[in-house]
Amino acid sequence: MSDAPLVEQLSDVTLESTPDQKLPTGPVRPPRVLAVANQKGGVGKTTTAINLGTALAAIGERVLIVDLDPQGNASTGLGIDRRNRNCSTYDVLIGEAPLREAVVPTAVPRLHIASSTMDLSGLELELGTTAGRAFRLRDAIAALNHNVSPDADYTYVLIDCPPSLNLLTVNAMAASDAILVPLQCEFFALEGLSQLLQTVEQVRSTLNPNLSIHGIVLTMFDSRNNLSNQVVADVRQFMGSKVYNTMIPRNVRISEAPSYGKPVLVYDLKCVGSDAYLKLATEVIQRERELRTH
Ligand code: ADP
Ligand code: MG
Could you read off the pLDDT of 93-141 as tens digits, one per residue? 999 999 999 999 999 999 999 999 999 999 999 998 888 999 999 999 9
Which residue has a Cα nearest atom 5 of ligand 1? 44
The dihedral built from the CA positions of residue 97, 101, 107 and 110, taken in this order, carries a sign that is positive
**Averaged pLDDT score across all residues of the chain:** 91
- The pLDDT, as a whole number, for residue 26 is 55
Over 70: is that where the pLDDT of 80 sits?
yes
Position 5 scores a pLDDT of: 61
pLDDT tens digits, one per residue of 145-193: 988 887 889 999 999 999 999 999 999 999 999 999 999 998 888 888 9
pLDDT at 11 (0 to 100): 60
Atom of ligand 1 nearest to the CA of 251: 24
Question: What pLDDT, on a 0 to 100 scale, did the predictor assign at position 27?
Answer: 60
The three-class DSSP label of residue 283 is helix
Please state, in angstroms and rounded to a whole number, the distance separating the CA atoms of residues 71 and 118. Answer: 6
Q: Tell me which residue of 87, 126, 121, 118 sits closest to 104, measured CA to CA.
A: 87
Percent of the chain with pLDDT over 70: 90
Angstrom distances, CA of residue 242 to CA of 6, 180, 182, 212, 225: 26, 10, 12, 11, 23
- The confidence band for 294, taking pLDDT boundaries of 50, 70 and 90, is low
Residue 144 has pLDDT above 70, yes or no: yes
> 184 C-alpha vs ligand 2 centroid, how far in Å?
13
pLDDT at 2 over 50: no
Atom of ligand 1 nearest to the CA of 41: 4
Other beta carbons less than 10 A from residue 266's beta carbon: 20
H-state helical runs in 11-87: 45-58, 73-77
Instruction: List, in order, residues 6 or more apart from 236 with CB less than 8 Å away.
Output: 243
CA–centroid distance, residue 72 to ligand 2 (Å): 8
How do beta strands 63-67 and 178-184 pair? unpaired
Which amino acid, residue 252?
A: V
Which ligand sits closest to the CA of 267? 1
The distance in angstroms from the start CA to the end CA of the chain is 39
Ligand 1 pocket, Cβ-based, cut-off 6 angstroms? 41-47, 73, 163, 219-220, 248, 250-251, 254-255, 258, 273
Nearest to 186 by CA among 232, 151, 142: 232
Which atom of ligand 1 is the closest one to the Cα of 258? Answer: 16
Nearest-Å Rg of the Cα atoms of the chain is 18
Identify whether the C-beta of residue 196 lies closer than 8 Å to the C-beta of residue 181.
yes
| pLDDT at residue number 269 | 96
Residue 58 and residue 279: Cα distance in Å, rounded?
A: 12
Indicate if the pLDDT at residue 14 is higher than 50. Answer: no
Closest atom of ligand 1 to 249 CA is 23
What is the residue with the minimal CA distance to atom 17 of ligand 1? 255
